[in-house]
Amino acid sequence: MKEQDILELVKFGEHSQLECKLGKGGLPKDIWPTYSAFANTTGGMILLGIEEKEGTFYPVEGIDVVKLQKQFWDHINSNQVSINILQSDDVKPIKVGSYDILQINVPRALRQQKPVSINQNPYIGTYRRNFEGDYKCTKEEVDTMIAEASNSTRDSIVLSNYGLEDLNKQSLIKYRQRFMIQNPNNDWNELDDKEFLRRIGGWGRDREKSIEGLTAAGLLVFGEEHTITDFFNNYFLDYREKVNEVEGQRWMHRFTSQSGDWSGNLYDFYQKVIKRMNEDVDVPFELNSEDYSRVSVTNIQRAIREALLNTIIHADYFTRGNIIVEKNSEEYKFVNPGLLRIPLEKAISGGTSDTRNQNIFKIFSLIGLGERSGYGLENIHNIWRKNDWEIPEIIESFQPETITLSLKTKKLISQNHLDTLKKSLDNEFDDLTSMEIKFLSCLLEKNSISRRDIQALLDINSIELSKMIIHIEKLDIIERNTINNIEFYKLKNIDKTNDVVDRENIINGVKDKLKGKIRVKPEVLKQLVLELCSDDYFTINQISSVLGRTENHIRQKIVLPLVSEGKLELKYPDNPTHSKQAYKTRP
């Protein structure tokens, strides 16, 4: 890491992926909760040789990084830490001017390595990280990590004293009818319900306990809501829909697993939800390439179906949290309890699978639902790219553990963006290719974007992108910066006059609401920040200036919690400590 990168990192202090410690008297003891916390969350960096004074961080003289490095390796390789997940190049001395700093990069641990504990008792030595620092994990969090580390699928467990009488008969009948249509010559069609369930993963036998009965998957997919919640106490399914703004009406349509007018199981939930979500899908006329017949299910509908199935199949039904599916005018949102079991990059690139509920996946795949294992997210991304919509967004939260997939049907190139580019570039606009217009439109929307993200967004390789950048740079309208070895692009010399007027109106509106008010509740300030950042990015300094509060208070008590809740997005998401970091309200 370069000297300037380190200075940029520490400029705005610690955050969820950065911890600074002094280390002057030797290796700090409190480094180990941070090691555990980073490993059990999303990874992070520890810098030794940094001092904090009145909220500002500085490198200091007199740090023996060689000694610190040896002490670190001696401790992490002892039995005082549950596991060492670092490679040799993850711990290295670096120079910042005349200062010596020890840089420790802690990766996110694999699920099989968790819980990463600072001692041999995970229930007292396991930590995680949030915006307020390291916190000791609860017994429930540790239990979940231990269960997730197993390679056996938890939905295959046989439930004692659960039988056919606990199922919704109509759900099973409808499933078997669809199975017969999908597999007309399959011998399983002649089996009784118990044997049929055994073949598809809904019934099992535990030979060690000498019991047989419904599996967890069988109960979840075909059970009655009240029998499901007898075992899965936190089970709750929620579908809500709002496609038009109606004053005083929060949801135009909503149903939950507890409503009592349907079974409340996963199979019927899928059927009810997919019908509602496909009702108003604006799909293009599409023909089959072989016989030129009208395609009955379009790629957009397939993507929505895959997103819904992913939510159901990858949910952790043994932990807290609900399955939530929302349909809005420009967004589909899918929320399920549980964390990612593989790195996000691998999930998006496809081909790598680590299915949490293999029996539930099997039950749905046997009736033709669900892409081949490991390719669902990749297909969704490909379809959204082909439609020039915003990149699908995946947000991972830890308290409680949830995954949120947001699919926005908002075009990358809006008419406002086109008008702005035409006004600024004049005749040179006509020389731009459609791909270059998309690129510039992305910069107008995001202000700054990394090379990796623009490649994914435009679905082009590195060579094609480089050629495009060379051409656009001749117009003198973009500039590039490298931060942490990641290249970023942003616009320059683009007239955004109309945006400035709108921005001033919003600022004045927020200030008016604070006139004469000295004490304002945090929740009110949060709403004002969301209003302020609704159409543009604002820095911490700008937000604190508008609201009349200190930067530290705004950062720690208002902005960072909103980021954690998924309500604010970062202007530079790949570099949370960017010197010009700013925030915008998520649509």
pLDDT in tens, 113-171: 999 999 999 999 999 998 768 999 999 999 999 999 998 889 999 999 999 999 999 99
Task: Set out the domains of the chain in order of their start, with CATH numbers.
Answer: 3-149 (3.30.950.30), 152-282+296-409 (3.30.565.60), 415-491 (1.10.10), 498-585 (1.10.10)
- Residue 508, classed as helix, strand or coil, is helix
Q: What is the mean pLDDT of the chain?
A: 85
Q: Out of 238-247, 284-293, 401-410, which region has the weakest mean confidence (pLDDT)?
A: 284-293
Phi and psi at residue 535, to the nearest 5°: -120, -5
Q: How far apart are CA 134 and CA 151, in angstroms?
A: 28
pLDDT of residue 502: 63
Q: Where are the alpha helices (DSSP H) in 318-461?
A: 344-349, 358-365, 376-386, 415-425, 434-446, 451-458
pLDDT of residue 204: 96
pLDDT of residue 292: 45
Let me know: does 100 contact 50? Beta carbons within 8 Å. no
**pLDDT of residue 361 exceeding 80:** yes
Q: How far are the Cα atoms of 242, 244, 251, 297 from residue 247, in angstroms, in the given order? A: 12, 10, 10, 34
Let me know: does 577 contact 18? Beta carbons within 8 Å. yes
pLDDT of residue 282: 57
Q: How far are the Cα atoms of 129, 286, 523 from residue 399, in angstroms, in the given order? A: 10, 43, 19
pLDDT of residue 86: 96
Residue appearing with tokens 């610190």: 68
* Cβ neighbours around 186 below 10 Å, total: 13
Q: How far apart are CA 441 and CA 452, in angstroms?
A: 16
3-state percent breakdown (helix, strand, coil) of the chain, nearest 5? 45, 20, 35
Mean pLDDT for the stretch of residues 6-23: 73
pLDDT-based confidence at residue 294 (cuts at 50, 70, 90): very low
Which residue type is seen at 118?
I
**pLDDT of residue 105 exceeding 80:** yes
Tokens of residue 196, six digits = 């049929």
Residue appearing with tokens 């759900």: 171
Q: Out of 5-19, 64-78, 96-110, 433-447, which region has the weakest mean confidence (pLDDT)?
A: 5-19
Mean pLDDT for the stretch of residues 86-99: 90
Q: How far apart are CA 75 and CA 84, in angstroms?
A: 10
Tokens of residue 112, six digits = 């099989």
**pLDDT of residue 395 exceeding 50:** yes
pLDDT-based confidence at residue 352 (cuts at 50, 70, 90): confident
Q: pTM score > 0.75 for this model?
A: no
Strands in 99-106's sheet, in edge-to-edge order, are: 18-21, 44-48, 99-106, 91-96
Going by their DSSP bridges, the two strands 18-21 and 237-242 should be labelled as unpaired
pLDDT of residue 244: 62
**pLDDT of residue 289 exceeding 60:** no
Residue 337, beta-bridge partner list: 402
Tokens of residue 310, six digits = 């992913």
Residues 6+ apart with CB under 8 A from 105: 43, 45, 86, 90, 91
Q: What is the pLDDT of residues 158-209, one digit of tens each?
A: 999 999 999 999 999 999 999 999 999 999 999 999 999 999 999 999 999 9
Mean pLDDT for the stretch of residues 398-425: 83
Nearest to 380, CA basis, from 413, 347, 342, 339 = 347
Q: What percent of the chain has pLDDT over 90?
A: 45
Q: Which of 63-67, 479-483, 516-520, 579-583 has the highest mean pLDDT?
A: 63-67
Mean pLDDT for the stretch of residues 16-37: 90
